[in-house]
Structure 1
Amino acid sequence: MRKESTTYQYGGRLQDSGALAVYWSLADQRGAELSYIMAAAVANVRNLEDNIRTLAQTKRIRVTEFFQDFDKLRSGFITDAQFLRCLWNTLGLQLDKKEAELLIQKYDLRRNGRVHYKKFCEEIDKQFNPRQLGEDPTSQIVQPAEFLGTVRSLRPLSSTQESHILGVLRKMQKFYHYHGINLRTCYEDFDRHHIGTVTESQFYRSFPGPPDVSEEEMALLVNKYRDPEKPGLLNYLNLHHDIVALNQQVAAEKELSTIPQRNVDQIPIIETKDPALNQIFDKIRVAVFKNGIRTTEFFRDHDKLRSGIITENQFVCGLALAVGKEAQLSRAEIQKVVEYYRQPDGRVQYKEFCDMMENAFNIPNLEKKPLQSVVRPQRGALSRILKPLTVAEDDRVEVVMGEISSQVRRRRLMMYPYFKDYDRGIAYTRVVTPVQFGRILHFLSLNVAPEDLKLLIRKFEDPASGDVNYPAFVQAVDQEFVGHTLENVSMMDNNRTNTVVEPKPILASDSNVGYEDLMSRIRHLVLTSRLRVAEYFEDYDPLRTGSISRTQFQRGLGLLGLSKLGQHDLTEAQFKVLSDAYQNPMKEDQVLWKQFTHDIETVFTQPDLEKAPTYEVPRSEIFCVPKPGTVDWENATGDHKSLVESTLERLRQRMNQRRVLAKPVFQDFDKHNNGHVTRSQFRQCLTILELHTTEAEMAALEAKFCNDVGFNYLDFLNELQPKEPPQFMYEKRLEELRLTNQQKKLPELNAAGDLEGVLTKIKTKVARERIRVLEFMKDYDKLRSGRMLKTSFRRALDLCGFELRESEISILEDRYQYPRDMDYVIYLQFCDEVESIFTFKELEKAPLQDVKPFRPPEEWELNKLEPEDESKFNICMDRIAEKVRKHQMQLFPLFEDYDRVHNGTVSRSQFRRVLSELELGSMVSEHDFELLWNKFDVKIGLKDDVNYIAFCEMIYALAKFEWRKP
């Protein structure tokens, strides 16, 4: 284009008029082409910036922080290479040559090869400009196309389909809100690259519900949210955003319909140019009481003679210094107080003013006036007032706090603890500094523009200290927080001070509970707590007249548990009902407590029952009443009952199938262990247990099991998972004991029938445990006569640990009985007989005697089988030995694994198990097992075990193995 221009222009002048016309026509053509090229370049740059902005928000990157590393002097400019390198390192964005030239041409303002990166960052992170207050802040913020770079579907749908999809979305939003489901987290496992899209099969597979969404509705959703640039993929992130937006819309509609707008000015300031004197005094009195000001200290220095009078100037200085800032007193208000206390000589009587201020909301010498009523300040009158602003400023503050309130509600922020952490004075002052206030808002990500922050600080500024009243701010933006309340200002009497308001008398008709219901609740409390009612009243009646005063009666009821700190909150009206019912007819100010005690303690028994032996005492269960607020289920409708029964049956089947233990889940929420949780906690517990119910079913369950305390989950679980009542075994045990005691002698087990068997049993015990029987016997024979009483003989045998039966001891007594006296036994003969197993007595007199030591027989060798059973036993052993010989099997190791104490025995079930593991169990029938058990039976305590050592050795012997070498 420059070459063409030289053709028609020479030396800066045109040649002629014809050439001039040709030149202008060509210039217009070139200008149009140039404007088109410039517009295309601007559009390309704008699209490129939009892509960079979307990528930066996707990666959560502040672009400015990375460019500053190349700009040490903070000039705002870096080189072209540094600019492109930072884009590549930070965003992973590698621009081609054309795109790089477009960006560099736009931001190379000085045309010196250096890029103005600050302007680029402002364009990318374009936010609200506080200097442009005249423009709408929302119009100044540039929003990216979509989060994570996803785009909206452009597929046109009909109005019918759109309305149908909106109904499906509303149904999904209600289901997700009730069950606490986040649609985005359901698909994140399939979205490995975090691009917001999944395949159609993955969308169907992880769709979280609701279950009543039909196939046609699912097809509509799939058609609506297909990604136009990626065939086969669905944009689940857009569906998630639509659900979130719909949730916010429903919450906003609910808030507008149910929650009234809250007034931020909890304590409005009434501004008057000439305020009344009582209003000035109230303002000063509140400031003195709140700040603990001793007003006398500010005036007494001017009164050297303590006359109570100072000059007007001194009074004005002292009043301004004392409460001028705290009470926000103007010059006119101070002058009004001066005029009130001025004396005829021009001086001011400060003493009277200080006495009134020092006794704010109190009466001096109150201990001498017990019947005097103290005037209390109105609720909220002692709280900090808010500073008035102009109408425009108040409107702007309302808008800012509305935005903060929506964020607090959406994010469920608890703001008060964050502010309280900065309130670390000697006591909680309930204020923070303006710097701390802004820092806390920034920490909570509640970003406010500087001008709006100044307005907030001015609105909630404490007039006395200049700090920010954070409880009032939190109460204004958080609907669930209540810091302080204020009574109706119109009810405050501004024309009178220290006015005593007579309380409204409380009558028995004010009670919401009748006499019978109240007595039923008290009887239930006494019955369940097992209280002795008389003990709480008899100390007030030392003469036992049966009558006490009303205050004493109320005090006794409080000790009984009928108070705010007890188990039942007895109101004044309910107490009035009781006191009127038991009023003493002779003395109206007293109550018949004995009659009250008699009526209450009938829950246990009836007095003078010995005079009426045929009277049938009612059961104590009839005095148990449900907690207040419980629904009378007997009078419920049939539809309601059937709905509850069907719901419980369905939940019961699900719990039985999944074997769910529900009670610990409810106990985690029951911090007071009273068997109740709140309604929201009940819904949360069912969600944790995956016991899903509809809203109608949930309302039916709450109607049945809810009361004034909360949801009675114990009754709910008793009906949902009823337990079998315990069997009362007391009478059965008594019958068993009676039958047992009728038997004079118990049957003896394994008792020897002859003397030889008894002696063998004793000798075996002595030989194995090396017992010296004589040592246990001779202590009962002091004279060494060789005989002892039979009772002593029995006692000595028990000390030896022989465990002999009654018949066996009788056989020994008959054998060694002393001939001359039937009550004695010759124990020496018995001891000699037992000790003969070791050696021969007086062996030194018989040196040629051949002594054969006693060898205790093996216990299993004493087991005898019938001849027929013995032949079957031998056949079974031969069959087992043949297989053991053929396979060269090891028997001991498996038996030793079960022999933990190494006594050579195992139980019968273990014996069978070992044979099965050795593949020998199939060769032994059930009768053969019985024969094996009986043959190798060994008594271990009172249990029958099997001697596996003898069994193995016999098998090895039959298999003709070498000793211990199978």
Structure 2
Amino acid sequence: MVGEVLVYKPTFLTTSCLEKMAATAALENFHNSIRTLAQTKRIRVTEFFQDFDKLRSGFVTVPQFSRCLWQTLGIQLTPEQEEIVRRNYDIKGNGQFINYKLFCDEIDQNFNAKDLNRNPESQRIEPPEFLGTIRTVRPLSPGAERRLVQLLRHIEQFYSYHGVNLRTCYEDFDRHHMGVVTESQFYRSFPGPPDVSEADMNLLVQKYRDPDRPGLLNYLNLHHDIVAIGNQVAKEKELIESPSTYVDITSVMLTPDPDLNTIFDKIRVAVFKNGIRTTEFFKDHDKLRSGIITENQFVCGLALAAGKEAQLSRAEIQKVVEYYRQPDGRVKYKEFCDIMENAFTIPDLEKKPLQNVTRPVRGALSRGLKPLTETQESRLEEILSQISDNVRRRRLMMYPYFKDYDRGIAYTRVVTPTQFGRILHFLSLNVAPEDLKLLLQKFEDPATGDVNYPAFVQAVDKEFVGHTMDDADLSQKGRTNTPVKERETTAADSNVSYEDLMARIRSIVLTNRLRVAEYFEDYDPLRSGSISKSQFRRGMSLLGFSKLGQHDFSEGHYKLLCDVYQNPQKHDQVLWTKFLWDVETVFTQPNLEKDPDTKVPPQEIFRVPKPGTVDWGYASTDHKDLFNATMDRLQQRSEQRRVLAKPVFQDFDKHNNGHVTKSQFRQCLTMLELHCTEPEMIALEAKFCNDTGFNYLTFLSELQPVEPPQFMYVSRLEDIRTANQRKTLPELNAAKDLENVLLKIKTKVARERIRVLEFMRDYDKLRSGRMLKTSFRRALDLCRFELRQSEMSILEDRYQSNTDPEYVEYLKFCDECESIFTSKELEKRPLEDVVQFKPPEEWERNKLPTDQLTRFKACMDRLSEKVRKHQMQLFPLFEDYDRVHNGTVSRSQFRRVLTELELGSLVSQQDFELLWQQFDVKIGGKDDVNYIAFCDMIYKLANFEARKP
């Protein structure tokens, strides 16, 4: 029995383990399939289950669970899957309710907030596939897998360099956005790289073929694999470039070969001095930015970059090539450029403040002189001694002559050989041609071939001191590097008192209208009213109170303010709000709303003169008398000559601050021919000078005072009140009855085609058909009827509302105005004849008195008789005066035309007045004569045809 137990017990355990493993695998496959579909459709399964769980209990019934999966994901559970769900999520054990909350957490893979020992990112499970597909059921061989990874890396590098997106290349073929295309479409739109062979394409097709749908390839999985490889490459690059993996440049530069170190030092100095960007000479050969180029490309790039500047020979360049050469024969130029670009510095030095930076060797960055042979050196000494004796005897200053030819940016301190010989000839320092060649050979720059003229001047002129390394020895001049301990600044070091300092600050704030609170409140986020002393100083600097600001503030001034406004509880802080209220009293008083009777002092009392201004009250009597006499004399001369002095001073005031220097002030007076003696000039400068300069604006205000403009607001306001109190003027030509008023309105409407209703309806929002009388008058003014007050009153009385006396029935008035065009509701009276309103001529409405009609007819008969006898043309002369062709002329023009036609003798003055009165028309408020009506009446009386005398 024991043996049987020993034999059968392992068999029983193995079967149970296999069953558990199979159940776990089935559950995991079930989860993966649902998780893939949920991510494909971008669905949160929890939101759909909650519609069945109103009480948020976390449980739904079995049919509800199946229905939700069918509606959201399109999954119909098989009996095996239903059994898996009941076995794992039927927490209650009754077979009716499923814990969907636990199921959704497993699908979404949200991290457990209570499990603090694990990283939340490690708890999430990302499905390896997309769109519910798999690549292939046949795994590739290990060699093919390695080849595939290399191919994907190569494709990712090509795509990232050229900005290619594989997904967009195939989206036009994937009309249903399923992530699959046919094999022919895959071959047709494959975006490269061009060096991918046919075998590589077959490998991609085998890897990403869809086993469920023959002939289709899943390009979306290929796209995501390329993106994943790109992220992995970026992480690897970040690890390589991280500060933890940084290798000190000095350790890299210390190669075993001392000659190679010398070459590197020469290149680094040349790169540092000339500001060479070495990468620019190599990256054009590296299209893929791999950091590797061929040997010939590296040699050409290095020769172009620093071959001439570093004086590199072919053998030295070859040594550098051999140091960076790879086994395949190519050269790693990126490592070389990284070392050269960071010459005498360290990359990301702000992240490594304790790192020691290598410095160039003393004298390495200076221009050295080229060594010569002993014979040449001895000859050179003789030449330089001769030139030096000549320079010393003639006391020549040679450096300015050379500097005039040095027009480079920031002075390159070199000139060309031709310029060097020309300058020596100009200074009469004639040198033989062979000696000149020797000088050029000694002092030329090896890189550019130009001549180092400061070194030559220092060699021949012992009094000239150039910038050489020999002068950098500070110990020879008694200087040491031992720091001198400075005395701590206190408030006593301030040369002004607290009252004077605050008066100066208030004046500056008032003049420039500064908002002091805006410069301090950002340092006090809790609005405690207290900030540190350093923050207070920073805010004052932003206001302009600093050595570099607009207003000079010393350390003693800051100490004085910090001592006055120091926080009693925190000695390292300042009560900036108290300082704020003390300064802003120049604008208003605090808490003024609580005491409205408080008299606010005028702002002028806070203005103080600029620093350095002399208090004229303490000046002596003789000084004041001299100043007054000088100003009186200058005023008389400027008034006699009518001098405009301000533009002359403004030409010297480049900063527009109202100040010039003393010398400029004297120059301006000379230009204005306002001459003064030296004592008078000193008196003027003492009065108007300060630390900024001479205040010419104050000087001009006393020299040529300008009368201040009078404050006319009160007087103008009184004039307006007086004008409003006057009685209204009598109305001219006002209609007396309703008929004439309506005729005037209808005539205006007919001639100008005015829609009266459009102006009225805007004041009747409810469309009630009535409006206020004030609104009615306003609408009539908008219509431009030019009605008098009495005429408007007649209309208001006629159309007054029966229900409310303050309103007017404007619709009736509009209907009356529209009746000149047609009758209202004409469709109900089809047989009615409509007579259109014809506006009467204005002159026809003129009525002469009865006793004057006989005289008017007699005058017209006399005129018509003479026109008939002589067959006169009246229109041409009248039209010559009618420039705007409106059919009217003025009364004087009317009389002039009759006189020219020899008709004026037939008309007396009384007859003229009758003619003017009969044919009078109003044009722009002026009485004119309608000559067309006059001519027509004359022609009619003379029995002529119309317009044909």
Fold conserved between structures, TM > 0.5: no
Task: Using CA pairs under 8 Å that are at least 6 residues apart, name the structure with larger relative contact order, 1 or 2.
Answer: 1
Which protein is bigger by CA-based radius of gyration?
2
TM-score (normalizing by structure 1): 0.43
